[in-house]
């Protein structure tokens, strides 16, 4: 039996998308993990965090919550992530999970000065990504799905920033050799992204953006999904050492 991955569930999709199940399911499918290859712990709902032993790695979901609210469940999860990162457990944070991991490791998270980033965005890799296990060999620029208001304003000390978008300077970072955060959503299909744009159309209009234009510009993002799958493969390889 392969060791399972732990998925820390930190929130739920927007209501209109919940008929497609939750973030852990989307992540498991996008990562190519079977039902018995993932253990889900709903930390937002108060589930206890397990010990690290026996897991190949941990993946932290996105959320509609804000890291800066310092909710008890969030801070408890941050402490767990801090300890896990220092212990060498492979970690992969997505959106809120990216921000929570940065916060846990001493970075700064807050509202993005430029406001919301939503839709299919184009990532630009830094030269440092060429030697990264998850990003090496990917195109210098590729599309990814994103939806967020808060951001990593300052990466943790010692972290390597790997990617940026026109809007966000820290779309991906690696801390140490086994912990990654990505602001984008590698588990989102184009359909998921369009569903989010529809759900946020009033907010987009109030911010001077056209929801129809944002939705029309949504496209597939296979390279972003590849980053998630690479994490799974890399974590499994590390566990086998």
The confidence score (pLDDT) of residue 241 equals: 58
**pLDDT under 70: residue ranges of the chain:** 241
The confidence score (pLDDT) of residue 239 equals: 80
Q: Which residue segment(s) compose the domain that 179 sits in?
A: 5-239
Neighbours of 4 (CB within 10 A): 18
Q: Is the pTM of this model over 0.95?
A: yes
CA 121 to chain centroid, in Å, comes to 15
**What burial letters (b/e) apply to 87-111, b meaning 16+ CB within 10 Å?**
eebbbbbbbbbbbbbbbbbebebbe
Q: How far apart are CA 209 and CA 204, in angstroms?
A: 5
Please list the active-site residues: 95, 185, 187
By percentage, how much of the chain surpasses pLDDT 70? 99
CA 63 to chain centroid, in Å, comes to 10
Q: How far apart are CA 227 and CA 37, in angstroms?
A: 18
CATH of the domain at 73: 3.40.50.880
Q: How far apart are CA 190 and CA 176, in angstroms?
A: 32
The confidence score (pLDDT) of residue 211 equals: 97
**Looking at the 3D structure of the chain, how many domains does it have?**
1
Q: What is the 3-state secondary structure (H, E, C) of the chain?
A: CCCCEEEEECCCCCHHHHHHCCHHHHHHHHHCCCHHHEEEEECCCCCCCCCCCCCCEEEECCCCCCHHHCCHHHHHHHHHHHHHHHHCCCEEEECHHHHHHHHHCCCEEEECCCCCEEEEEEEEECHHHHHCCCCCCCCCEEEEEEEECEEEEECCCCCEEEEECCCCCCCEEEECCCEEEECCCCCCCHHHHHHHHHHCHHHHHHCCCCHHHHHHCCCCCHHHHHHHHHHHHHHHHHHCC
């Amino acid at each position: 039996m392969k060791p399972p991955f732990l998925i820390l569930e930190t929130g739920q999709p927007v209501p209109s998308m919940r008929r497609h199940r939750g973030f852990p399911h989307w992540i498991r499918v996008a990562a190519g993990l079977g039902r018995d290859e993932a253990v889900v712990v709903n930390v937002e709902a108060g589930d206890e965090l397990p010990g690290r032993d026996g897991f190949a790695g941990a993946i932290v979901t996105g959320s509609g919550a804000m890291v800066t609210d310092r909710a008890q469940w969030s801070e408890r999860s941050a402490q767990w992530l801090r300890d896990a990162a220092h212990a060498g457990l492979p970690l992969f944070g997505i959106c809120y999970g990216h921000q929570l991991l940065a916060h846990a490791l001493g970075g700064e998270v807050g509202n993005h000065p430029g406001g919301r980033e939503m839709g299919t965005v184009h990532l630009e890799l830094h030269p440092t990504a060429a030697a990264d296990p998850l990003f090496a060999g990917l195109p210098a620029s590729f599309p990814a799905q994103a939806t967020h208001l808060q951001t990593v304003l300052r990466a943790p000390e010692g972290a390597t920033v790997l990617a940026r978008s026109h809007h966000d300077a820290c779309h991906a970072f690696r801390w140490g050799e086994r912990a990654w955060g990505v602001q984008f959503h590698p588990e989102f299909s184009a359909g998921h992204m369009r569903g989010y744009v529809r759900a946020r159309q009033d907010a987009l209009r109030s911010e001077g953006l056209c929801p129809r234009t944002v939705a029309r510009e949504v496209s597939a993002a296979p390279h972003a999904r590849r980053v998630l799958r690479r994490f799974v493969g890399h974590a499994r390889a590390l566990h086998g050492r």
